């Protein structure tokens, strides 16, 4: 009786798949990047500055129309500034720390580690943690913006770039080989050497939330494939069965009657009408084979 249930299987598959539909639509309508997180950008772009230097932090994120406020956090504590830009006019040691911001409709941003230094020479980087493919910019910067030359950049103690005048360098496409501790040295009145700065470059495996977007498609795909295979199998089985019963009516009267009854019964969409009709169908072929022999 498997063949009779093929349409039932179809509707079963639909019933399984239908509850997924709202979920699917929800996922289709949500963009891939996390849209609810605020983001801090720095102007100038360096997370390391000398004391007394200026830096502006800007908070970008979703807001209500007409609202331009932002909440700022330093080392986890809310600070009084509520403007979208946080100005540091002359950085002091106590301006160092972990900054986060949040707009009215956003989640808190990723932290930015700002550090105010006191030294002769400073290697400035545009960030401390990168994902493969992101650009990394660095600058060999002297106290009071004094002019330096014969600049050498080092990664893990090994010189990798020399420039007579240019104290800035960009790696447009970072990969994990750019992970490490960087420093620089440069000539002013003397040769100065900066402290080391640690830069992390992470591999670009899709983060977990990407899988949450992909997984439902995968599940629906597998269900669909499974359903299709099942339907094809059932159809094949049904055809095979039908072929077998059609081969049988070769012989005498009563057998013929039974077979044509079965055929009629199939013709009516396979709905068993009389009592025992199902049993008849189930047991009919073996019986027929027995009576077939003269
Ligand atoms: C840092 O200290 C100065 C006083 O020395 C104070 O005026 C300023 O508000 C402090 N800044 C922060 C971010 O705590
Ligand atoms: C924030 O924490 C850093 C150390 O992580 C510290 O140097 C800095 O002074 C702290 N800033 C404030 C305002 O507490
Ligand atoms: C990383 O990038 C550099 C160029 O900046 C390239 O020479 C190197 O082969 C890359 N390494 C890997 C592991 O892709």
pLDDT higher at 83 or 279: 83
Pair (109, 123) in one structural domain: no
Provide the CB-side half-sphere exposure for 144 (13 A, CA).
Answer: 3
Pair (193, 124) in one structural domain: yes
Domain membership flag for residue 271: no
**Minimal-distance CA residue to ligand 1 atom 13:** 95
**Minimal-distance CA residue to ligand 3 atom 13:** 177
The pLDDT tens digits for 260-284 are 444 554 554 444 444 444 444 444 4
Domain membership flag for residue 65: yes
Domain membership flag for residue 251: no
Q: Whole domain around residue 124: which residue ranges? A: 119-205
Pair (156, 99) in one structural domain: no
Residue 9 burial by Cβ neighbours in a 10 Å radius (0-12, 13-18, 19+): middle
Q: What angle do CA 176, 155, 147 make, to 5 degrees?
A: 130
Average pLDDT of span 123-144: 95
> In angstroms, rounded to a whole number, what is the distance separating the alpha carbons of residues 58 and 53?
17
> In angstroms, rounded to a whole number, what is the distance separating the alpha carbons of residues 151 and 167?
6
State the distance from the centre of ligand 2 to the C-alpha of 179, rounded, in angstroms.
26
Pair (143, 179) in one structural domain: yes
Domain membership flag for residue 227: no
> In angstroms, rounded to a whole number, what is the distance separating the alpha carbons of residues 264 and 252?
18
DSSP secondary structure letters along 197-230: EEEEEE--PPPHHHHHHHHHHHHHHHHHHHHHHH
> In angstroms, rounded to a whole number, what is the distance separating the alpha carbons of residues 153 and 186?
9
Pair (105, 151) in one structural domain: no
Confidence band, pLDDT 50/70/90 cuts, at residue 181 = very high
51 close to 93: Cβ distance less than 8 angstroms: yes
When mean pLDDT is compared across 23-37, 108-122, 171-185, 251-265, the lowest value belongs to 251-265
**12-21 burial, b if ≥16 CB within 10 A, otherwise e?**
ebeeeeeeee
Confidence band, pLDDT 50/70/90 cuts, at residue 244 = low
Does 175 contact ligand 3 (Cβ within 6 A)? yes
State the distance from the centre of ligand 1 to the C-alpha of 74, rounded, in angstroms.
12
pLDDT at position 278: 46
The CATH number assigned to the domain holding 84 equals: 2.60.40.10
Size of the chain in residues: 294
Q: Which of 118, 148, 178 lies at the terminal end of a domain, its last residue? A: 118
Q: Which of 170, 205, 240 lies at the terminal end of a domain, its last residue? A: 205
Pair (109, 125) in one structural domain: no
pLDDT higher at 4 or 117: 117
Confidence band, pLDDT 50/70/90 cuts, at residue 170 = very high
Domain membership flag for residue 90: yes
pLDDT averaged over every residue in the chain: 78
Does 252 contact ligand 1 (Cβ within 6 A)? no
pTM for the whole thing? 0.62
Does 96 contact ligand 1 (Cβ within 6 A)? no
State the distance from the centre of ligand 1 to the C-alpha of 97, rounded, in angstroms.
13
Question: Given the DSSP bridges, would you call strands 197-202 and 129-131 parallel, antiparallel or unpaired?
Answer: parallel
Pair (44, 95) in one structural domain: yes
The pLDDT tens digits for 42-66 are 999 999 999 999 999 999 988 888 8
**Minimal-distance CA residue to ligand 3 atom 1:** 175
Pair (104, 67) in one structural domain: yes
> In angstroms, rounded to a whole number, what is the distance separating the alpha carbons of residues 179 and 198?
8
The percent of residues in the chain predicted with pLDDT above 70, rounded, is 67
Pair (135, 105) in one structural domain: no
pLDDT at position 15: 53
Pair (80, 43) in one structural domain: yes
94 Cα nearest atom in ligand 1: 1
Confidence band, pLDDT 50/70/90 cuts, at residue 207 = low
Does 252 contact ligand 3 (Cβ within 6 A)? no
Residue 151 burial by Cβ neighbours in a 10 Å radius (0-12, 13-18, 19+): buried
Pair (82, 132) in one structural domain: no
Does 114 contact ligand 2 (Cβ within 6 A)? no
**Minimal-distance CA residue to ligand 3 atom 7:** 177
Does 12 contact ligand 3 (Cβ within 6 A)? no
How many domains does the chain fold into? 2
Does 77 contact ligand 2 (Cβ within 6 A)? no
Q: Which of 118, 144, 172 lies at the terminal end of a domain, its last residue? A: 118
Of 94, 95, 114, 116, the residue with max ligand 1 atoms within 8 A of its CB, to mutate for a pocket test, comes to 94
């Amino acid at each position: 009786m498997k063949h009779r249930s093929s349409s039932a299987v179809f509707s079963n598959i639909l019933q399984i798949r239908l509850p997924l539909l709202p979920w699917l639509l929800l996922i289709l309508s949500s963009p891939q990047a996390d849209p609810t997180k605020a983001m801090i950008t720095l102007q100038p772009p360096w997370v390391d500055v000398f004391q007394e230097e200026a830096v502006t932090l800007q908070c970008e994120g979703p807001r209500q129309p007409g609202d331009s406020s932002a909440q700022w956090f330093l080392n986890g504590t809310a600070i009084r500034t509520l403007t979208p830009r946080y100005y540091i006019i002359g950085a002091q040691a106590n301006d160092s720390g972990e900054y986060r911001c949040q707009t009215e409709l956003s989640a808190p941003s990723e932290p930015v580690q700002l550090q105010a230094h006191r030294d002769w020479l400073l290697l400035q980087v545009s960030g401390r943690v990168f994902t493969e493919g992101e650009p990394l910019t660095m600058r060999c910067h002297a106290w009071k913006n004094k002019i330096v030359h014969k600049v050498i950049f080092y990664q893990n103690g090994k010189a990798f770039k020399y420039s007579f005048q240019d104290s800035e360098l960009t790696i447009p496409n970072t990969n994990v080989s750019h992970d490490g501790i960087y420093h620089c040295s440069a000539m002013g009145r003397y040769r100065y050497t900066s402290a080391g700065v640690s830069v992390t470059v992470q591999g670009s495996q899709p983060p977990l939330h990407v899988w949450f977007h992909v997984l439902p498609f995968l599940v629906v795909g597998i269900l669909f494939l499974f359903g299709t295979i099942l339907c094809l199998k059932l159809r094949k089985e049904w055809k095979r069965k039908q072929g077998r019963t059609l081969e049988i009516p070769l012989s005498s009267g009563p057998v013929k009657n039974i077979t044509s009854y079965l055929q009629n019964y199939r013709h009516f969409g396979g709905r068993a009408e009389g009592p025992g009709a199902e049993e008849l169908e189930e047991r009919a072929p073996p019986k027929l084979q027995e009576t077939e022999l003269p």
